[in-house]
Structure 1
Amino acid sequence: MNDLTLSSLTGRTVLVTGATSGIGYETARLLAERGATVLLHGRTDGEARAAADRMIATAGVNGERLCTYGADFALLDEVHALAARVNANHPRLDVLVNNAGTAAPERHTLTADGNEIAFQVNFLAHYLLTHLLEAALTSDPGGRVVNVSSSMHRTGAIQWNDPQRARRYSRVAAYAQSQLALTVFAADPRVTAVSVHPGVCDTAMLPLYAHEGCAPAEGAAHLVRLCDPATEIVNGAYYDRDQRVEPAPRATDERTVKRLNKLADAAVGVGS
């Protein structure tokens, strides 16, 4: 991964969701260390500010490169408010890293918006945020969206007649559905996007995968590489760490993309 230290990202503006811990925190840190202006998102303003302060104190990151934002993705109104603030403060955005995520709980849980919580936090909130930031996301070379997905998308299935899984709930199946949806979303022709499985890392998600994993910084390095304009991407591509591989066949199926867009538009209240 020595190439990550070679090029400066000065002048680039990157929004990283879920940047207060784990892979998101390490991604924000690495980007800032390479000169990018990083919009660091947390569930609350306080959590985002605390993460920025920790980054400044322990990693020596220049605080002028960090901007903090709070929004609870379990509340779509807060996603709207986040997008409004970002659009007002940063009318040009080079990269959006859709990283925030939650493990599905043991019991079926709906958000105040009526969506299964993992489906909303892991996918629908990012779908809405990307839609709302579309004007700010530059179409210049290197402008892109990076969706942090998972190899578990391969086991996922979108329950088209019951996406909220009210009739039959399993936390593993709910989580896998959210990761498949996020991977499918990368193939949406309206945005230049890729999805990436950063590897099994020692984060709060680890119990879904294994008993041990690599350091979050190792997974973050794969995200940072995809944020670099020197890394050429193909819209809809899927990466397993630093290797481009084929995702699950249904993840790039044109009919599935259109069907998911229609479902998501209805769930978040926007028009396609």
Structure 2
Amino acid sequence: MTGWTADLIPGQRGRIAVVTGANSGLGLVTATELARHGARVVLAVRNLAAGEKAARRIAGDVEVRELDLASLASVRAFAAKLAADHPAIDLLVNNAGVVLLGPRRTSADGFELHLATNMLGHFALTGLLLSNLAAAPAARVVSLSSITHKGAHLDFDDLMYERDYRAAAAYGRSKLATTIFGIELDRRLRAAGSPIVSALAHPGLTRTNLTPRAWEHRGRLGRVIARLGLLATQPVDRGALPQLRAATDPGVRGGQFFGPAGLGETRGRVTEARLSQEAADPAAGERLWAAAEELTGVSYL
């Protein structure tokens, strides 16, 4: 593969990086590369045992902390302790996510679980850490989108998808919400004159453990589908490159969106990706932001 690679990551020594969902998949690759280049990396994980196991695989300066993005109480507790221990945070990679099949599920706060984990938890986390990010000289927030955001539409009259629920569509909606959040965050940071950069990335179709897990409950047929899906995907170390570029490339500007260049943005070298019309719509950004503030109780910018 040609183009941007992890070897182009500049030295990260002296920087504090927080990666959510860092115990496996894209998050583990991202944390590993950041640590390899000198950053102190906080592995923000729901399962501490899995996080400790992942930390032992990383050669570098890492710490493991518990974070359940589907619980606002957990987000607040995590952010409060982290903010006290690290007054300046250089990088927040909002990587963690869930993709589920089957019936509708809700979070500890009663939110549809995809939206709660993939977007609302990260919205609250970013806001609660914003002053720490502002204290760093060149801080960044990276939000992890998906090509599925392009086929999704937010129903602001039913954000929790209580009507006619479909799991795949719920995932797409949550990733559209995440994308809108990342772009609206950039708008607000610029308007406030903040030096913090909000960038976005998506991994195309990548071999992570999310999709196989989602199909587990479907039995033999589900396992066959999961195996077939692996044939269409790229390795996780390649899938992580867009978010690593968004996180570390010195030339990244606020609002930039990175993804694979080939086969309908599913794989290949890293390039700038295309937003859906709804993701780029300022009116959608304002509306989602207001809803997220009300739902999470976290207001900023």
Provide the TM-score with structure 1 as the length reference.
0.91
Structure 2: distance between partners of 1:251 and 1:141 = 29
Partner of 2:24: 21
- In the TM superposition, 1:217-236 aligns within 5 A as 217-233=237-253, 235-236=254-255
Partner of 2:69: 73
- Per-residue CA distance 1:19-78 (angstroms, 9 max, x = gap): 0000100110011001111111110333222210232xxxxx03xx10111111121100
- 1:143, 1:229 within 8 Å by CA — same for their partners in 2? no
Q: Please, which of 129, 151, 156 is the counterpart of residue 155 of structure 1? A: 151
Partner of 1:130: 126
Instruction: Using the TM superposition, give the Cα deviation of residue 173 of structure 1 relative to its aligned residue in structure 2, in angstroms.
Output: 0.7
Instruction: Using the TM superposition, give the Cα deviation of residue 231 of structure 1 relative to its aligned residue in structure 2, in angstroms.
Output: 3.1
Name the aligned partner's letter for residue 221 of structure 1.
L
- Per-residue CA distance 1:145-197 (angstroms, 9 max, x = gap): 11111000001111101111111200011000000011001112234311111
Unaligned runs of 5+ in 2: 190-196, 215-225, 261-269
Secondary structure at the residue paired with 1:5? helix
Name the aligned partner's letter for residue 258 of structure 1.
E
With 65-74 and 237-246 compared, the bigger mean Cα shift is at: 237-246
Instruction: Using the TM superposition, give the Cα deviation of residue 239 of structure 1 relative to its aligned residue in structure 2, in angstroms.
Output: 1.7
With 1-10 and 141-150 compared, the bigger mean Cα shift is at: 1-10
Partner of 2:42: 39
| Residue 190, structure 1, aligned to residue 196, structure 2 | no
Unaligned runs of 5+ in 1: 56-60
- Per-residue CA distance 1:91-150 (angstroms, 9 max, x = gap): 111111000000133101111201000000000000000010000113766421111110
| Residue 199, structure 1, aligned to residue 204, structure 2 | yes
The CA RMSD measured in Å over matched residues stands at 1.9
Structure 2: distance between partners of 1:214 and 1:51 = 21
Q: Percent of aligned positions with the same letter in both sequences?
A: 33
Name the aligned partner's letter for residue 225 of structure 1.
R
- 2:258, 2:271 within 8 Å by CA — same for their partners in 1? yes
Secondary structure at the residue paired with 2:134? coil
With 193-202 and 21-30 compared, the bigger mean Cα shift is at: 193-202
Name the aligned partner's letter for residue 42 of structure 1.
V
Instruction: Using the TM superposition, give the Cα deviation of residue 255 of structure 1 relative to its aligned residue in structure 2, in angstroms.
Output: 0.8
Instruction: Using the TM superposition, give the Cα deviation of residue 222 of structure 1 relative to its aligned residue in structure 2, in angstroms.
Output: 2.3
- 2:200, 2:258 within 8 Å by CA — same for their partners in 1? yes
Partner of 1:94: 90
